[in-house]
Structure 1
Amino acid sequence: MKFAYRFSNLLGTVYRCGNLNFTRDGNSVISPVGNRVTVFDLKNNKSDTLPLATRYNIKCVGLSPDGRLAIIVDEGGDALLASLVCRAVLHRFHFKGAVHSVSFSPDGRKFVVTKGNLAQMYHAPGRKREFNAFVLDKTYFGPYDETTCIDWTDDSRCFAVGSKDMSTWVFGAERWDNLIYYALGGHKDAIVGCFFESSSLDLYTLSQDGALCVWQCDTPPEGLRLKAPAGWKADLLQREDGDEDEDEDEDGAERETAVHGKAVPAAEGQRGKAKYSRVAKYFFNKEGDFNHLTAAAYHKKVHLLVTGFASGIFHLHELPEFNLIHSLSVSDQRVSSIAINGSGDWIAFGCSGLGQLLVWEWQSESFVLRQQGRFNSAVSLAYSPDGQYIATGGDDSKVKVWNTLSGFCFVTFTEHSSGVTGVTFTTTGYVIVTSSMDGTVRAFDLHRYRNFRTFTSPRPTQFSCVAVDSSGDIVSAGAQDSFEIFIWSMQTGRLLDVLSGHEGPISGVCFNPMKSVLASASWDRTVRLWDMADSWRTTETLALTSVALAVTFRPDGAELAVATLNSQITFWDPENAVQTGSIEGRHDLKTGRKELDKITAKHSAKGKAFTTLCYSADGESILAGGMSKFVCIYHVKEQILRKKFEISCNLSLDAMEEFLNRRKMTEFGNLALIDQDAMEEGGVTIPLPGVKKGDVSSRHFKPEIRVTSLRFSPTGRCWAATTTEGLLVYSLDARMLFDPFELDTSVTPAQIRAALCQRDFTRAILMAFRLNERKLLQEALESVPWDEIEVISSSLPDLYVEKVLEFLASSFEESRHLEFYLIWTQKLLMVHGQKLKSRVGTLLPAVQFLQKSIQRHWDDVSKLCDWNRYNMQYALAVSKQRGLKRPSEPPGSEEEADASEDDDNSLHLLRRGPGDGDGPLA
């Protein structure tokens, strides 16, 4: 259970491709990110990635009207029926072809899937358990080209399908007598969106060339009548009607057109077919030949039409008058998807070119959410000492800082002009130091969000790694082209020394946490140890058998781990310069075969290795990752593999499969070599020789799966990895695991509650920790009176103190009993403080987890106190100003009344607090 890490969240990527959806309450956005789905809670300012994944990138997501179910379809036609309540996959289905869109009917009984040039209607899965949740009802034919969009009427009687053949087809969900299907033309380009008017069959259609057609139907939805059945169905219905007529009393009331789904003859005046007529055609203002309309959404209640274009501009129009409300530019990339929430206040935009997700409140013209993923993959990451923040640097020359609790990026530094190669925090946690290929090392302040130090070298050079010592005063960076190590002072910013001796590019530098010793790894097959306190001289040189790719110290500084190009991890004693062990990781990497490789995966694995290493908080295990889809955790002392994690199963990435798909092989070669779809979205082309991140031209490429950086959280509860997919976070979810401790048959919930009734609190707490159920633990601890906490704390055995501290740290994140748990923490540390000093190594993760939780509450309370203090000063200043202005005014005058009114407003601001009424701006 110690390494039962599970996928927790995906950061660094907020939108990839597919359609956006709002939840039923309109407070959350559901965004497809690669082969996963992320839910952004805009009210609580949190993001959460569902623990499910498809085999390819997600193409479309259909949300049920009640918001409980979602149908997720990937590019290969595989569908997942997922429950958004329990966050689990309920059913899997294959549509046998590429699906363009999926949409539920408003009543939730049916859903339509557009596939190729046809539309298929399925019975929607119910709440009861079914053997097959996807039952095909009807297949509709009509369009000659691929279908693009779907929209339903409010009563679920009809739906419209748009196509690339410039036509829109209206189909009946039932076999209506006067409307079986209807084809609408009038456009000169592919249909992007089709929308029904509220409680009507009137239709709006939009094409890619920026044309809007308004269609009016002469038949209301209530005028649709079922077609009379023929053959054996008619005979069966006549028998049922005859049996019903014998039981029913005769009356003179006229029959309705359709009763209980059975069709009857209609009046002569109602036999006409439904007809559509175009009443208006509007054109959007085009800016250039390539400004095509790419996405559209319509809100039927407020009659709001939102359209997005290839230039990044979006328009808001009021229909049916086509009045322009607003026009704004999101970015210079195409708008891929648009969604409007239920109230019509918030509009979500997705731009696949930049990986950008925006939520805009159009009435106040303000952003509710504005997040952008990395254009290129992140290559380095670092945890803050308290575990609250993660800093990442990437090839897009940006440094982003993420909040681990909310999952949002709250600051982006853009001072670097080239790719960022290294990121690290100082021991205080308020300074980030980064190295870049632009020849600078920069220090950023997280208090004022500014670049306050810039370290440079005498000659221009490219820095490949960076490290800061435990005191935070010395900054070190390794050069890629000059083979030197540069040392600066953080206080003055001056260059202290240049360390020479390596004969190859520097691949990693790392400071000993306990001593002033710097370790540097190089391509010259050596690791050098430099003494910072003794004139920067080389104390030891460790000879390796291959090129060194990564180096790291154990948290206590007594061991050094080095990853080499021959897929080995070697362990060294830095004091005696003796190798203490090695791990062969070639078989654990299991690298896949690229789509254009001429050799097998077994032979291509010879050139792969681990490129990043990180020790666990207790130093017993090491985390390793590299040019593979697997991340391995090894036991250092036993040198065995403890667990292996597959970071992705997305086959849209390269080097995922061990064997090639023979269906792609033809007599002329691999189909991946064909460049016919290069200009289309998602096309695959052959990259230039030696280019690993794709061609810099407009051609698309298939990114290769890899892990560029790994870090354990200081709390030991989670670890993060920067990969091709984004920033993945794996954590220990204790609520989903049953992990008992020294359990025997006498420990039951009834025995625990009986001990609490007898006020035997120590025995109840010990039994609760043996059973290890969170609710029982909470009940046992909160039953202790606050004045008896010190006595109970002193009676707890030392073995249980660590578990109590871990429980208190996790309770701080969700409990409202802040003072009660603070008293528990204080008494435990005061009573057992001296005994815990001998177990610092094992208790370090628990103490850091506790520090993180308390620090977060301290930050929140300090902000609230500052807000109240400034409001009090404002209220006092206003009242003093009013008193000095009119000293001779009699009491009860108009000025005094105004002053009291201002004071009331100030006090109202004081009561409201700093966070009330503000949206979750990210």
Structure 2
Amino acid sequence: MALETQGVLQLELEAAIGFNGHVFSGLRVHPDGEHLIYPLGCTVILKSIKDGKQEFLHGHTNNVSCVAVSKSGSYIASGQVNFMGFKAMIIVWDYVRRTIYAQLLLHKAKVEALAFSPSDKYLVSLGGLDDGSIVVWNIETKQAICGSPASAHSAGHCLTVQYSNTNDNIFVSAGSGTLRVWELDLPNRKIRPTECQTGKLKRIGKCIEISEDDQFIFCGTTSGDIMKINLRMGLLSDCGPVKSKYSLGVNVLRILSSGDLLVGSGSGTFTVCSKTNFKTLKEVQLEKGVTSIAIRGDGQQFFVGTEAAQIYSFKYEDFKAELICTSHNSAVKDVAIPFGTSELFATCSEEDIRLWHIDKPKELLRITVPNMTCNSMDLMIDGHSIISAWNDGKIRVFAPESGRLMLIIHNAHKMGVTAIAGTRDCKRIVSGGEEGQVRVWELQPRGHRLLETMKEHKATVTCIKIKRDDKECVTASSDGACIIWDIVRFVSLQMVIANTLFRTVCYHPEEYQIITSGTDRKVTYWEVYDGSAIRELEGSQSGAINGMDISQDGKYFVTGGDDKLVKVWDYMEGAVTHIGIAHGGNITSIKLCSNSSTLVSTSADGAILRWKFPHTSTS
């Protein structure tokens, strides 16, 4: 990635919609009580609790896997995953300056968990499955002090680590059949473990909390109970709850100032339970498994993150869930921005289409079709309808204000509808299917009519773009062909062929050229008139290009793909002017708003990012 980004200007990230709900304890509240801290892809986001303003910490080269905040609030630490055989980086951030304070590199493939010592002196890090070691780092010298295998040979994989609240030399680790209290012996540069005695209880520890006075360790397990262990003696003192176990395990624990526990389970149950007998005092059921709990200030307010990529706010008194952040929790397939406005945009993924406000990244509307996947969508220019392509072979048309289903075209394509576009006069829809057919539909006041089926593609139609005069369209397909069609006479006018699976195609605004891209990582310019290739650019050094869009004046175009980079290109020069690095998943689609001020990109991890387009439009 470094090679590709050298000497090229960085794109400015303006806003991010998304929350990685699969990072355990990934949601944190800064001790100042002002900011929520959480990961999204390879970025750490700081979000103001008051006004929702976002700041971004960039530096990771792959998905962030864990986050920790020091007790004083001076530092944030974040670890990442990396490819097999490569080392995974830990970054310690200076919170006040919002800069990288240190980069620590020892663990292989993944950093599983991080914890700061109470005085910010040390950071303890736990490696993932391929690494299995615990390392203690000196924050001041930015060096590793010592390390050790995280668990005994007879035990399984270690999953979590937590520092003592009062002692810089004591921390605890837990995992599959292992629960250890570690003591740091600084003069000899060693850490020495003591196994906790849990008797006949054989458990997989998933999360740890230590009481404020360091007397007890509370360990949440995958079997849905909580073990209470005396920290000094290392002996089990209690285990519960006996009757109502938390189904799908205890994912996360937090201790309130009263000593009672906040418990989040894999089934979405979120409770306050008593410190003495684990009896449930308050309970609420959330949509999906709870993966993070972050307490603000004195514990009267807390935030809960779930696997459904949602963040809830709770007040202790009424214990009611208020949804403050929503996002897609599966791959975003497509994005559409209405023509002539830059205030809204829409995205689609498995089961749903969502409409967002562009300035305040806020969900305005959600249209859900259970157990179906929306592959592609378009917003009609008159603003009266959202047209969408679904994997059950149906085209669905919705009203953008209410989400009401206005029209459904059954059996539009046999094997699922994969691409869709609407004409400028809003009277026709062009759709493409998995079987390779291209169909033109006429929208009527009370229904629809199939005008023609065009059958030259041999494989999935991946992208459709319609010419401004509504008389021609171009379709890209994974059969290695792009076809320009006459959609008045329903005949093919031109075919371009390349040794690639085409993913995306664009008309130049002057419509005498098209640009294509796909799995061969090349961006190719073609002459519409005779289908000849004019120019070929190396679009990416690694991975297919999945999305492309072109500015209204035709001077610039943007690409995004499996290399996770957003690139802005000069059309005439054929050179990259800006690169955006923030996505943690493969980029699935990318769109420029019609006044070329904003760029929206989406990725396979459910993230939606809004960038400031760096060039001013002259159209």
> TM-score, with normalisation over the residues of structure 1?
0.56
Contact 2:504/2:517 (<8 A) preserved: yes
Q: Which letter does structure 2 place at the counterpart of 1:717?
A: S
| Alignment match, 1:541 | 493
| Alignment match, 2:218 | 205
Tell me the number of residue pairs that the alignment of Structure 1 and Structure 2 aligns: 585
Gaps of 5+ in 1: 126-131, 218-273, 593-607, 651-704, 740-805, 807-841, 845-922
Q: Which letter does structure 2 place at the counterpart of 1:588?
A: G
| Alignment match, 2:439 | 485
SS class of match (1:510): strand
Cα distance change of structure 1 residues 442 and 39 upon mapping to structure 2, 3 Å threshold? farther
| Alignment match, 1:719 | 599
Q: Cα offset for 1:717? A: 2.8
| Alignment match, 1:58 | 64
Which residue of the other structure, out of 248, 263, 273, is the alignment partner of 1:307? Answer: 263
Could you report, residue by residue, the CA deviation over 1:636-674 in whole angstroms, capped at 9, with x for unpaired residues? Answer: 345x22347475796xxxxxxxxxxxxxxxxxxxxxxxx
SS class of match (2:435): coil
Q: Cα offset for 1:206? A: 2.4
| Alignment match, 1:124 | 139
| Alignment match, 1:282 | 240
* Inter-partner Cα distance in structure 1 for 2:137 and 2:523: 53
Q: Which structure 2 residues correspond to residues 447-596 of structure 1 after superposition, within 5 A? A: 447-456=401-410, 462-481=416-435, 483-489=437-443, 491-495=445-449, 497-500=451-454, 502-505=456-459, 506-513=461-468, 515-521=469-475, 523=477, 525=481, 527-530=483-486, 536-538=488-490, 541-546=493-498, 549-555=503-509, 557=511, 559-563=513-517, 567=522, 569-573=524-528, 577-578=529-530, 582-585=534-537, 587-591=538-542
Contact 1:215/1:278 (<8 A) preserved: yes
Q: Which has the higher strand share?
A: 2
Could you report, residue by residue, the CA deviation over 1:415-467 in whole angstroms, capped at 9, with x for unpaired residues? Answer: 27532222222224463221122222222333223333323457756322111
Which structure ranks higher in relative contact order (CA pairs < 8 Å, sequence separation ≥ 6)? Answer: 2
| Alignment match, 1:856 | none
Contact 1:47/1:407 (<8 A) preserved: no
Work out whether 1:641 is the aligned partner of 2:575: yes
Could you report, residue by residue, the CA deviation over 1:207-229 in whole angstroms, capped at 9, with x for unpaired residues? Answer: 52444455668xxxxxxxxxxxx
Q: Which letter does structure 2 place at the counterpart of 1:320?
A: T
Q: Cα offset for 1:618? A: 1.6
Greater Rg, structure 1 or structure 2?
Answer: 1
* Inter-partner Cα distance in structure 2 for 1:196 and 1:630: 41
Work out whether 1:104 is the aligned partner of 2:122: no
Q: Cα offset for 1:66? A: 3.4
Work out whether 1:620 is the aligned partner of 2:555: yes
Cα distance change of structure 1 residues 191 and 494 upon mapping to structure 2, 3 Å threshold? closer
Contact 2:122/2:139 (<8 A) preserved: yes
Q: Which structure 2 residues correspond to residues 318-467 of structure 1 after superposition, within 5 A? A: 318-320=274-276, 322-331=278-287, 333=289, 335-352=290-307, 354-369=308-323, 371=325, 373-385=327-339, 386-394=341-349, 396-415=350-369, 417-429=371-383, 431-456=385-410, 462-467=416-421
* Inter-partner Cα distance in structure 2 for 1:550 and 1:275: 63
Gaps of 5+ in 2: 1-6, 82-86
* Inter-partner Cα distance in structure 2 for 1:475 and 1:103: 55
Could you report, residue by residue, the CA deviation over 1:286-329 in whole angstroms, capped at 9, with x for unpaired residues? Answer: 559x7433322212x13231223333333321323534212333
Q: Cα offset for 1:412? A: 2.4
Q: Cα offset for 1:376? A: 3.8
> TM-score, with normalisation over the residues of structure 2?
0.80
Q: Cα offset for 1:403? A: 3.1
Q: Which letter does structure 2 place at the counterpart of 1:715?
A: N
Q: Cα offset for 1:371? A: 4.8
Could you report, residue by residue, the CA deviation over 1:363-384 in whole angstroms, capped at 9, with x for unpaired residues? Answer: 3333333655545422221123
Cα distance change of structure 1 residues 91 and 29 upon mapping to structure 2, 3 Å threshold? same
Q: Which letter does structure 2 place at the counterpart of 1:392?
A: T
* Inter-partner Cα distance in structure 2 for 1:42 and 1:332: 23
Contact 1:461/1:482 (<8 A) preserved: no
Q: Cα offset for 1:541? A: 0.2
SS class of match (1:400): strand
Contact 1:59/1:73 (<8 A) preserved: yes
Q: Which structure 2 residues correspond to residues 180-219 of structure 1 after superposition, within 5 A? A: 184-186=196-198, 188=201, 189-198=203-212, 200-208=213-221, 209-214=223-228
Q: Which structure 2 residues correspond to residues 91-240 of structure 1 after superposition, within 5 A? A: 91-96=102-107, 99-114=111-126, 121-125=136-140, 132-134=141-143, 136=145, 144=152, 145=155, 147-152=158-163, 154-156=165-167, 159-164=170-175, 165-169=177-181, 171=183, 184-186=196-198, 188=201, 189-198=203-212, 200-208=213-221, 209-214=223-228
Contact 1:78/1:94 (<8 A) preserved: yes
Contact 1:7/1:729 (<8 A) preserved: yes
SS class of match (2:539): helix
SS class of match (1:95): strand
SS class of match (2:60): coil
Q: Cα offset for 1:519? A: 0.5
Q: Which letter does structure 2 place at the counterpart of 1:510?
A: K
Q: Which letter does structure 2 place at the counterpart of 1:133?
A: K
Work out whether 1:19 is the aligned partner of 2:25: yes
Q: Cα offset for 1:174? A: 8.8
| Alignment match, 2:75 | 69
* Inter-partner Cα distance in structure 2 for 1:172 and 1:93: 19
| Alignment match, 2:84 | none
Could you report, residue by residue, the CA deviation over 1:43-75 in whole angstroms, capped at 9, with x for unpaired residues? Answer: 3235554333244x3332221233342111224
Contact 2:353/2:374 (<8 A) preserved: yes
Contact 2:599/2:612 (<8 A) preserved: no
Cα distance change of structure 1 residues 543 and 83 upon mapping to structure 2, 3 Å threshold? same
| Alignment match, 2:52 | 45
Contact 1:157/1:174 (<8 A) preserved: no
| Alignment match, 2:93 | 82
Contact 2:602/2:609 (<8 A) preserved: no
* Inter-partner Cα distance in structure 1 for 2:61 and 2:563: 19
Contact 1:42/1:368 (<8 A) preserved: no
Q: Which structure 2 residues correspond to residues 758-907 of structure 1 after superposition, within 5 A? A: 842-844=617-619
| Alignment match, 1:298 | 255
* Inter-partner Cα distance in structure 1 for 2:10 and 2:137: 39
Q: Which letter does structure 1 place at the counterpart of 2:400?
A: L
SS class of match (1:390): strand
Q: Which has the higher helix share?
A: 1
* Inter-partner Cα distance in structure 1 for 2:150 and 2:374: 53
Cα distance change of structure 1 residues 400 and 87 upon mapping to structure 2, 3 Å threshold? farther
* Inter-partner Cα distance in structure 1 for 2:491 and 2:193: 84
SS class of match (1:314): strand
* Inter-partner Cα distance in structure 2 for 1:193 and 1:48: 28
* Inter-partner Cα distance in structure 2 for 1:190 and 1:2: 47
Contact 1:570/1:579 (<8 A) preserved: no
